Amino acid sequence: MVSSLVRARRGPQLRRVAAVVLTAIAVGSVAALTAGPAVAQSATETVSGRLAFEGEGVEGVRVVVESTDDGAVLEAVSGPDGSWLVELPGPGAYRIELDASTLPEGVGLRDPDNPAREVRVFENSTSAVVFALGEPQVQTSDTPRRLLQSSVNGLKFGLIIAMTAIGLSLIFGTTGLVNFAHGDLVTVGAFLAYFLNVTLGLPLLIAAPLAIAAGGALAGGLDRQVWRPLRAQRTGLIAMLVVSIGLSFVLRHVVLLFFGGSRQSYTDFGLQTALEFGLVRVQPVELWVMGLSVAALVAVGLMLNRTKLGTSMRAVADNRDLAESSGIDVQRVILAVWVLGGGLTAAGGIFLGLIESVDYLMGFRLLLLMFAGVILGGLGSAYGAMVGGVIVGFVSEFSTVWFSSQIKYVWALLVLIVILLVRPQGILGRRERFG
Amino acid sequence: MIETLFFDALRSAIGPTAASYALLAVGLNLHFGYTGLLNFGQVGYMLVGAYGLSITVAVFGGPLWLGLIVGMLAAVVLSIILGAPTLRLRADYLAITTIAASEILRFLVRNTGSDDLTGSVFGLRQFAGEFYDWSPFAPGEYLGPLGFNANRMWVTLVGWGLVAALSAMVWTLMRSPWGRVLRSIREDEDAARSLGKNVFLYKMQSLIIGGVIGAIGGMVFVLALQNVTPDMFLPQVTFFAFAIMILGGTSTVLGPTAGAVLFWFLLTGLQSGIRGVVDAGVIPGITGGQVVGAVSLIAVGLLLMLLMVFRPQGILGDREELRLDVS
Amino acid sequence: MSPDATVPAGLAGVAHEPGVAKPDPILVVDGLRRAFGGVRAVDVDHLEIPRGLITGLIGPNGAGKTTLFNLLTGFDRPDEGEWTFDGRSAAGVPAYRVARDGMVRTFQLTKALSRMTVLENLMLGASQQRGEHILRALLPWGWRTQEAEVRDRAEGLLARFKLDHMRDQFAGTLSGGQRKLLEMARALMVEPSLVMLDEPMAGVNPALTQSLLGHVKDLRDVEGRSVVFVEHDMDVVFDISDWVVCLAEGRVIAEGPPASIGANPAVIDAYLGATHDHSALREERRRRQAARGDA
């Protein structure tokens, strides 16, 4: 395996890989240096934010800032327009907590389990911290209610994982590559929409489809310009894994360079009144996200089953040599898999940004859950990715009924380790792959 | 300015951080370079070493030697937990499991519920006193323009001393029949099996030894900083170590050391250069350490990609050796 | 080959029929089954491999020969079945133990350890090396003497297999035929009592074939080992085998000395319907080799 680390022969194609990557970076860096948002208003480091409920600023709320590096504590109280600002002693890691007891009657955190944010503040920069406010959620020890609520949350989160994981699984199935840059395609998709929506001011309903198309195009471009040349050189799989790690670093930090390190939100659908369905509360946007995710998954399922392209994809994932000898244009199918996977991944990123927020690490956090979902379902199978993704979402949200939500991902990742112990081929995988 | 940049880079290249990363890479090289194990969670070993030491000393008031032993034992336990399910499977399963485990560990130590034990996001301090009590260096400035103080001299000496000792150990092991079995597993584990070698056992031994070396790297790292916080152990640390190993030369004994020195020289030089450019206001409207952080991480990503494609043998490796193709 | 070719003494009087018992078997297989996705790859009711002789295993493509090798040597697990090696049950024994117990295999696609030298490839094969233990490995004086002995033995084998001029080259630089020689020599380093050779002649150029054949015969005649080998070239099979077993669709369909097998209607049916000429079998072999060359 390692032995085929990299073969020696290489043609002009690989030079092209380097040229493309370097050009992209050069363009990206120049753009960021000239137009980037990393412009400080003052010479020191600050964190700030604005607390708003139904468009109105919320005054008199206490925000506590603790330095993660040396434990120093600072605080601020929001002004009449709801804005608050804390001047920091220097760059470093900080934990910013909103004191929920100082919120006025009838206003609560949208996510009461997470009253704190952690940010890394760089030299001479301002970090914006978002605390989304909404109608207070009744904190209840009522287990049935919390179980119901977390199943809704789990479904919502799981559908997003499923959507993003399909591409990961199909790419593995068709090319053998475990793409560690897949999470960062989520981030890039979310930020493409953020750029169109927030920076350019397009409505999200227009920005999102454009971003999804761009996400698919980006993934297809990566296949054509990076992965296909590497496959043509018969680069070893392990070398490809390391290349995908390098690519993920590049993508993630280009986003950091352009958009900064703090959590951001889209301008649309930010503040909505939750709908009550018996014991559970759901915001309309969350319902839309779930509905569209289900629609996308069903569409992909139909596509894989009913169309020629879809059956080709499954054929290539199943047995590449056989597919090739039966006349399928494997490289084209692989390209289609990347485009499809990239588009779904971008959509997942936008959905995640809608129900939570966008930040440059969002995709990497999701990647590990995607891995858990894909391995649980069966590496290489699209349906497995769907089933596994949803289960992983459920597991992590259900855990919050009994355990701290800070460690909800831990349970999902433990599922990964347990499944490898008892059934490494996954729920829908076949044992033969492990002969 | 060039002089500042050079000394910044040199200070970092020979400092304790570079030594810690060299240790991570020595362990990783045993895993990846010699055995073919794809460990994407080396930072998890670093974490258990660092926390094993600091919890023993700072929370339970144990002596330093006990902390060192606890840190290393933690790495052994972690290897067994990770290796048992994955060492019989394809290489990428180990990669996924190890990176997931390293994140699980980070989430767990930073969780408020573990506050009493790990200090959650605030971490722990006051565990390095005994270590510095042993320092033979009198207070003062050392190494001229590099301006190392006595404590830094001591931890630097210990760090590179460990790099030398453990590299020598790896060298001895790899020249033994044991090392021959390891390399045969890297080449083709079925062939090793067909000749009567217990492949699982050797992989486990390799995972444990490389992991313990990583844990030692973690201990040096936090002893130098005299504090430990969860976010020192982000997944990117593992990939810095990968870049170091590949840069220096995978499956070479001196590769990790040469790679660590060169990597930190280049990275710090780059960061110092960007900071200089930004501070000088050459490009109007640009400030912020965020740019420095982002650009240097982009550079590491590019380094990994380009090295892997164009110079997989690094600076010390043998091109001819890599040219050979199995299977 | 004349139909009256003598049957080796050990097998005199043994009936020429599938699953027949032999006087002193080294390997006895019972009820061994392995299916892949519903297709029975191996389905052997009873099979005995004679000790100290060369047994040829033949059968058309997909007959289950390699799968049978994988099962018997612990590289794959059967759905059901029992077998004993040298009188001890070997079912469920992991591959490395099977090798240590004395049943050593080679592979259809050779597994040369490319980035190790030819000498290292051989030295790896030696059993019970003190320096392979992690703690003793750190103390070279504890294993140096044994290492020198292993090296001597490896060099002896290299000379015998005429690979001594390549000893310090990476195994990845060897030709296909040299790799086959290397693999056989490496297997001998384990001192096996039963050598399982999976297509030892495949892809080997004709000039080397004779020397390889000589080596296989030496395993029996000089060293007294038992040999099972898979081969498609019927001339080779009939030349060196003492006994031939024919598999088709996972089952043993015929057994007997080479002379009886060549004329066995079941065997001929299994291969190519009703062609009595060996040339058809040779054609089959050429086709396979061409296919392998493409891969």
Alpha carbon distance, N-terminus to C-terminus of chain B: 53
What is the distance in angstroms between the Cα of B278 and the nearest Cα belonging to chain A?
9
Tell me which amino acid residue A422 is: V
Residue B228's SS3 state is: strand
CA angle C248/C251/C257 to nearest 5° reads 75
List the helix and strand counts (H, then E) for chain A.
13, 13
The minimal CB distance from C114 to the residues A3, A430, A432 is found for A3
| pLDDT band, very low/low/confident/very high, at A73 (cuts 50, 70, 90) | confident
Q: Touching check for B76 and chain C: CB below 8 Å?
A: no
pLDDT digits (tens, 9 = 90+) for C100-127: 999 999 998 889 999 999 999 999 999 9
What is the distance in angstroms between the Cα of A353 and the nearest Cα belonging to chain B?
22
- More confident of the two residues A86 and A195: A195
Contact B179 C137 (CB under 8 A): yes
Q: Touching check for C105 and chain B: CB below 8 Å?
A: yes
pLDDT digits (tens, 9 = 90+) for B179-207: 999 999 999 999 999 999 999 999 999 99
User: C222-252 burial string, b = 16+ CB within 10 Å, else e?
Assistant: eeebbbbbbbbbbebbbebbbbbbbbbbbbb
For the cut 90, the answer to whether the pLDDT of residue B274 exceeds it is no
User: Rounded to the nearest 5°, which phi and psi values hold at C248?
Assistant: -150, 130
Instruction: List the 73-102 stretch of A: residues with Cβ below 8 A of B.
Output: 91, 93, 95
Is B227 inside a domain boundary?
Answer: yes
Choosing among C36, C67, C71, C109, which should be mutated to test the A contact, i.e. which has the most A CBs within 10 A? C36
Contact B302 A417 (CB under 8 A): no
- More confident of the two residues B211 and A58: B211
pLDDT digits (tens, 9 = 90+) for A121-173: 777 777 888 888 877 665 555 778 888 888 899 999 999 999 999 999 999 98
Is B322 inside a domain boundary?
Answer: no
pLDDT at position A27, please?
52
Size of the A and B interface in Cβ pairs below 8 Å: 228
Domain count along chain B: 1
pLDDT at position A15, please?
58
Instruction: List the 59-78 stretch of C: residues with Cβ below 8 A of A.
Output: 76
Instruction: List the 261-290 stretch of C: residues with Cβ below 8 A of B.
Output: none
Residues 6 or more apart from A6 whose CB is under 8 A from it? A233, A235, A236, A239, B308, B309, B312, B322
C172 → chain A, closest CA residue: A3
For the cut 80, the answer to whether the pLDDT of residue A222 exceeds it is yes
| pLDDT band, very low/low/confident/very high, at C1 (cuts 50, 70, 90) | very low
Chains in contact with A, where contact means 3 or more Cβ–Cβ distances below 8 Å, are B, C
- Contact call for residues A293 and A163 (beta carbons, < 8 A): yes
Give C142's DSSP letter: G
Contact A3 C115 (CB under 8 A): yes
What is the distance in angstroms between the Cα of C224 and the nearest Cα belonging to chain A?
34
What is the DSSP annotation of C153-173? HHHHHHHHTT-GGGTTSBGGG
Contact C124 B195 (CB under 8 A): yes
A124 contacts in chain B (CB < 8 Å): 287-289
**Window from A108-122, A335-349, B157-171, C242-256 with minimum mean pLDDT:** A108-122
Give the pairing type, strands A280-282 and B148-149: unpaired
A432 → chain C, closest CA residue: C36
Is B326 inside a domain boundary?
Answer: no
The minimal CB distance from A407 to the residues B108, B294, B319 is found for B108
Is B198 inside a domain boundary?
Answer: yes
User: Rounded to the nearest 5°, which phi and psi values hold at C143?
Assistant: -130, 0
Choosing among B38, B79, B82, B96, which should be mutated to test the A contact, i.e. which has the most A CBs within 10 A? B96
The minimal CB distance from B112 to the residues A242, A260, A404 is found for A404
Size of the A and C interface in Cβ pairs below 8 Å: 6
pLDDT digits (tens, 9 = 90+) for B71-83: 999 999 999 999 9
**CA-to-CA distance for A93 and A70, rounded, in angstroms?**
9
Q: Which domains does chain C have, with CATH numbers?
A: 13-112+192-294 (3.40.50.300), 115-173 (no CATH)
Is B189 inside a domain boundary?
Answer: yes
What is the distance in angstroms between the Cα of C14 and the nearest Cα belonging to chain B?
32
Contact B186 A2 (CB under 8 A): yes
What is the distance in angstroms between the Cα of B60 and the nearest Cα belonging to chain C?
32
For the cut 50, the answer to whether the pLDDT of residue A255 exceeds it is yes
For the cut 90, the answer to whether the pLDDT of residue A105 exceeds it is no
pLDDT digits (tens, 9 = 90+) for A237-253: 888 888 999 999 999 99
pLDDT at position C282, please?
59
Q: What is the ipTM of this complex?
A: 0.87
Is B320 inside a domain boundary?
Answer: no
**How far from A203 is each of A209, A210, A258, CA to CA, in Å?**
11, 11, 21
Q: Which domains does chain A have, with CATH numbers?
A: 46-134 (2.60.40.1120), 144-434 (1.10.3470)
| pLDDT band, very low/low/confident/very high, at A7 (cuts 50, 70, 90) | very low
**CA-to-CA distance for C288 and C58, rounded, in angstroms?**
14
Q: Touching check for B194 and chain C: CB below 8 Å?
A: yes
pLDDT digits (tens, 9 = 90+) for C82-103: 999 999 999 999 999 999 999 9
What is the DSSP annotation of C255-267? EE-HHHHHT-HHH
Contact A432 C115 (CB under 8 A): no
**The length of chain B, given as a count of residues:** 327
B184 → chain C, closest CA residue: C113
Contact A254 B294 (CB under 8 A): yes
Domain of B111? Answer: 2-315
User: C120-135 burial string, b = 16+ CB within 10 Å, else e?
Assistant: bbbbbbbbebbbbebe
- Contact call for residues A214 and A346 (beta carbons, < 8 A): yes
pLDDT at position C197, please?
94
In CATH, what number is assigned to the domain containing residue B254? 1.10.3470
